[in-house]
Structures are given as C-alpha cells and as structure tokens.
Chains A and B, each alone.
Chain A
Amino acid sequence: KQEVTQIPAALSVPEGENLVLNCSFTDSAIYNLQWFRQDPGKGLTSLLLIQSSQREQTSGRLNASLDKSSGRSTLYIAASQPGDSATYLCAGLTDSWGKLQFGAGTQVVVTP
C-alpha cells in the first residue's frame, strides 16, 4: 500500500527566502505526482503535475522534481512572498483508476 509522507509538517520563513518542501512515497510504481496548494477553508489548487517519465516541472517561481528510484519529490518555491502562505499537499497516482494518495501536507507561513 502506498504511503505518502511530507516533511516538515510546518515551516515558517521570512519573505524572500527560498522554500523547499519534501514529499516521499513508498511505492515507486506511480503514474504521476501532483503538488497542490490549499488555503484555509478553501479547495485545492493544482500547482504542478509530474508524469512518471519526467524528472521535473517548472511554472514561474515553482519547480518540482521527481526521483522515482528514491521515492522522493521536492517542491521549490523561489523568492517566497507572504501570498505563498498556505498548506502544500503532494499526491501520488498509484493505480489505473486514478486514486490519488495524499500526504498530510506542509503548512507554510511566509512572514513579511
């Protein structure tokens, strides 16, 4: 059974610092890995999707890497801003029906 772990559970950084969020998974047979952002009381916003054949994806200040052999994905957010404060979730797609397995999330606070 796939287990997805996110470390750390919470992170506080001053504005301008780079953020590094870690996600690990136990089963390397994943179809893809998605990173989401969740604001308090709100839904999920998809940030990046990395297919199993890819090593990384980039969008603006966001970059996500995927290393299937080590069971890890990392989300980098460059030059953090207070608006980046949110909970970041990673989710692995591990079966052909589309069932996403989520980590518990990393709660990020960027202080001005």
Chain B
Amino acid sequence: NAGVMQNPRHLVRRRGQEARLRCSPMKGHSHVYWYRQLPEEGLKFMVYLQKENIIDESGMPKERFSAEFPKEGPSILRIQQVVRGDSAAYFCASSIQRTGQGTYEQYFGPGTRLTVT
C-alpha cells in the first residue's frame, strides 16, 4: 500500500504565477488535511477536506488560496498570484476516518517545497 503521495516535490514560481500542489491520499483514505511549514516555524493547519467537501478551512488565508478534493483524482491546493511569503513546505496528510475520534492516525506525505522568486 503506497503511502501519501505529493507532487511535485519541489516547485519554483515567480511572483504573480499560480502554484498547484497535488496530494494523493493512501488507498482507502477519504480524509485529507493540508498543513504549511514556514521557514523556522512549526506546521500550521490549513484545511480539512473529504471527497467533494471542504469541512474546515479555518487555517487558509482568506485570499489567493483554495483547495479541492474531487470525487476522482488527487486533492489540489491552489495558490494564485504567489508572493515571496508563500515560500514554504506544504504537507498533506490522510486518514481512513475522521481522526477527531482519536483512534485514527494521520499519515503524512513527503511535502512540496514551494520557492517563490
């Protein structure tokens, strides 16, 4: 069973371009979480999605950021008109059940490192 997959692993964008980050959860997992790790900072929650639904986006910046998890295909985190402050590592995690029940772990992907020049 392959783990959580993210691509690309490294992404370089110029200011003003769009960045698209993809996350394929583990097989059988229908819950996806996105986190951001800014340089010299800890991981911060961004958004929680189930198939075709955004459940909690309380950690998402209000502008330029959006996320989706379609019925088919990977979850996508989209950043429009990137700025230097968006440079960070973006991690996604998946779980088989809603982990709020306490029993089920979140499994993390290797991350996408976004650099904005």
Once bound together, how far apart are the Cα atoms of A98 and B110, in whole Å? 20
Q: How distant is B27 from chain A, measured CB to nearest CB, in Å? A: 17
Residues of A within 8 A of B55 (CB): 97
Query: A80-103 interface mask toward B, CB cutoff 8 Å, 1 = contact, 0 = none?
Result: 000000000101010111111111
Count A/B pairs, Cβ under 8 Å: 75
Question: Given A93-B100, A97-B98, A98-B106: A103 and B42 within 8 A (CB)?
Answer: yes
B22 at the interface (CB under 8 A from A): no
Query: B88-111 interface mask toward A, CB cutoff 8 Å, 1 = contact, 0 = none?
Result: 000101010011111101111111
Once bound together, how far apart are the Cα atoms of A7 and B65, in whole Å? 33
Cβ contact within 8 Å between A31 and B102: yes
Question: Given A98-B31, A99-B48, A99-B56: A93 and B99 within 8 A (CB)?
Answer: yes
New A-B pairs, 18, CB < 8 Å, besides A93-B100, A99-B45, A104-B42: A32-B102, A32-B103, A36-B108, A43-B91, A44-B91, A45-B108, A89-B42, A91-B43, A93-B99, A95-B100, A98-B48, A98-B100, A99-B33, A99-B56, A100-B43, A101-B45, A102-B42, A102-B44
4 tightest CB-CB pairs across the interface, nearest first? A96-B100, A31-B102, A98-B99, A43-B110
